[in-house]
Structure 1
Amino acid sequence: MSTQPQDAETEQPAEEAEEAEPESEHQQRRMAEKARRAEERARTREKRDRVAEDEETYHLRVFRYDPDVDGKGDPYFDDFHVPYEQGMTVLDALIYARDHYDPSLTFRHSCQQAVCGSDAMFVNGRQTLCCKTQLNELDEPVRIEPLPHQEVVKDLVVDMEHFYDQMEAVEPYFQAIDTPEVEDLEEQRQSRENREKIKMSTRCIWCAACMSSCNIAAGDNQYLGPAAINKAYRFAMDEREEDEVKEHRMNVLADEHGVWRCQTQFSCTEVCPKDIPLTEHIQELKREAVKESLKFW
């Protein structure tokens, strides 16, 4: 009788043992990593509690989400108690929480002067720039979330690609029909009155707070949105824009997903950190669109 089957039977458990060994090591590493993270969280909680007892603090409740980390793929809120200093903004508090409690806390910021527009968030139920929002003017706990109606990338960071696409759709730049020869170039002067007319529209910092507040944009992904329409207003109302270019621009704005989708709710105007009368600009462009259509009659 051949002994080959018996040899195979005796060898099989050894192979299984060899395969099981690295799996066991992997499990041990995972358990050790979980224990390390739990210990870090415990130290962080202890530090927060100690700060809360010793100093005047503000309670932040911050939205957290990280699809790349086990256990953080489902959105949740994290609590931070941040020591308060006179003049502290929401952005200052977030930076403190990140630097002292949790370096994985993720959010955008840059100039801290309300110019770059990168730190627009949803604070206590309202779109705002965190760098210009005073902490002591808010009720506790200060609830900080990413901008609504936009895809969340991680924590307080949202995907801005769609917003930028809508801005690009209105071609936000001057366009020349004919480029004159160098010797024929002349300065394109603008009257003081026209400059005053479009001045407010030039203050847009592309923060997307208005787009996030707009109920129409939330339901119609193709709607240009108040920021893009305001940018188009800046050029359409500029007296230096040539008639053919303005006609083309108005055709884009008069599309079914353009100015006519606005329902005049004024939510965009209310949250604009630069006080741009966005709704008024949209209504004025509606009137211009009507004028353009009447030219054919």
Structure 2
Amino acid sequence: MAVTETDTRTILLEVARYRPGEDDKPVFQEYDVPLMPDWAVLDGLNYIKDQLDGSLSFRWSCRMGVCGSCGMNVNGEPRLTCGTFLTEYGEGPVRIEPLKGFPVIRDLVVDIDDFLAKLSSVRPWLVREGEELPLTTEYAQTPAQLEAYKQYSMCINCLLCYSACPVYVLDPDFLGPAAIALAQRYNLDSRDMGDRFDVLNLDDSVWGCVFVGDCTRVCPKHVDPAEAIQRYKVTAALRSVLPWSRR
């Protein structure tokens, strides 16, 4: 991340700073960073960390839109900071905050334990019945069988959908878009034999969704969790009438 003396244009970043237990409330600290044509917001944060203020805390890993760890609110919008470029914001300022709906550990780092518990509850893995480990049988799928769930399998657990979801922000008990979409990914997999009805057919699960659609709008991988939720509502309604129907 080399910056030369000829790089004179800068952009103002307003970064949320907060240390629970030490600070009364979050405050915004201003930093001028070089406005480079190829710099993402994450590059600006790394410049601050490396050159201006080593105490700034935030998460990141791959810088390629794959790990999902660098999600933050950028000018009020949940974004992956590795794929959000500073030039999108003209001369700024650019306000960077932690994702909504999650407890803040420090600065831009949020506690995701609640999400991990919700994700585990839907059993986001292939469930097979009557088979002993280790599994040795190969279960081939047709292109059509793969296509049935492929879109929902693209989720990278970045949590942008949770931050955008008005239901989750107001009701932390709501299972949430990503967990439901991943449950539906396995529900639609021809190899899966699991039954997630008792987890999904609840007021705090699919029936808590009011179909605002912001989860789908902010998803960087075009998973469309809003569609997954509405599709399972149909499944749950049919199963209530036809209890032998599982998919």
Q: TM-score, normalised by structure 1?
A: 0.76
**Counterpart secondary structure, 2:185:** helix
* Aligned equivalent of 2:29, options 57, 61, 78: 78
| Contact 2:7–2:34 (CA under 8 A) maintained in structure 1 | no
For 1:273 and 1:218, the matched residues in 2 are separated by 20
Contact 1:89 1:132 survives alignment (8 Å) = yes
Contact preservation (8 Å) 2:99, 2:160: yes
Structure 2 counterpart of 1:260: 207
Does 2:129 match 1:177? yes
Distance in 1 of aligned mates of 2:15 and 2:243: 55
Correspondence list, 1:75-224, <5 A: 75-139=26-90, 140-179=92-131, 186-224=137-175
Partner of 1:31: none
The two structures have a TM-score, normalised by structure 2, of 0.91
CA RMSD, aligned part only? 2.0
SS at structure 1 position matched to 2:196: helix
Structure 2 distance, partners of 1:158, 1:130, is 15
* 2:189 equivalent in structure 1: 238
Note the C-alpha offset of 1:200.
1.1
Aligned partners of 1:61 and 1:78 also within 8 Å: yes
- Structure having the higher helix fraction is 1
Change (3 A) 1:170 1:113: same
| Cα offsets for 1:38-78 (capped at 9, x unmatched) | xxxxxxxxxxxxx9x97100110000112355xx4431110
Q: Does 1:66 align with 2:19?
A: yes
Letter of the structure 2 residue corresponding to residue 178 of structure 1: G
Segments of 5+ residues of structure 1 without an aligned counterpart are: 1-50
Q: d(CA) in 2 for partners of 1:135 and 1:68?
A: 32
Contact 1:266 1:279 in 2 (8 A): yes
Separation in structure 2 between the aligned mates of residue 268 and residue 230 of structure 1, nearest angstrom = 11
The answer to whether the aligner puts 1:250 opposite 2:202 as a matched pair is no
* Larger radius of gyration between Structure 1 and Structure 2: 1
Q: Identical aligned pairs, as a percentage?
A: 39
Give the Cα separation in 2 of the matches to 1:106 and 1:171. 32
Displacement of 1:275 = 1.3
Q: Does the 8 A contact of 1:174 with 1:241 survive in 2?
A: yes
